[in-house]
């Protein structure tokens, strides 16, 4: 499995992860669940109307954290907007529950991919493992 696929697999298994952004000097964090590998990149999905979207437009630095079965994952990098319609369709196909709120052609649906992603898997008693993707 490619590094980026390992990261996405863990996010899928954990089901919920927490996405941190920056607003001025204030960290902001909230639960997220969307994750997709498309063209070798790790994407998440949100709505342009949300504060999280506005924070990432002003400062793309982000970090996510997920926990499952004694292992936690942190991913840092920049979250970059992508207007690729095919990637939006792929996200909605992977996460069909989004379709009640979003479509590939509305003005709200936004997907973003990690640039300069650094992922660290950690657990108590084990050495952390770091991957770049």
Chain residues in the site for ligand FMN (CB under 6 A)? 16, 28, 30-34, 45-47, 50-52
77: left (phi over 0), alpha (psi -120 to 50) or beta: left
Least Cβ distance, residue 59 to ligand FMN (angstroms): 13
109 φ, ψ to 5°? Answer: -60, 130
DSSP letter at 4 equals H
Nearer to ligand FMN by C-beta: 47 or 65? Answer: 47
Place of tokens 């992508």: 82
Chain mean position to CA 76: 10
Least Cβ distance, residue 67 to ligand FMN (angstroms): 13
Nearer to ligand FMN by C-beta: 16 or 130? Answer: 16
Least Cβ distance, residue 95 to ligand FMN (angstroms): 8
């Amino acid at each position: 499995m490619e590094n980026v696929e390992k990261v996405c697999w863990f996010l899928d298994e954990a089901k919920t992860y927490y996405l941190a952004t920056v607003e001025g000097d204030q960290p902001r964090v909230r639960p997220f669940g969307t994750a997709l590998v498309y063209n070798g990149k790790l994407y998440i999905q949100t709505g342009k109307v949300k504060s999280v979207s506005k924070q990432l437009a002003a400062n793309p630095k982000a970090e996510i954290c997920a926990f499952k079965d004694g292992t936690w994952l942190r991913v840092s990098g920049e979250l970059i907007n992508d207007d690729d319609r095919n990637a939006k369709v792929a996200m909605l196909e992977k996460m069909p529950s989004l379709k009640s709120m979003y479509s590939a052609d509305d003005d709200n649906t936004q997907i973003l991919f990690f640039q300069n992603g650094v992922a660290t898997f950690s657990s108590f008693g084990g050495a952390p493992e770091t991957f770049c993707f």
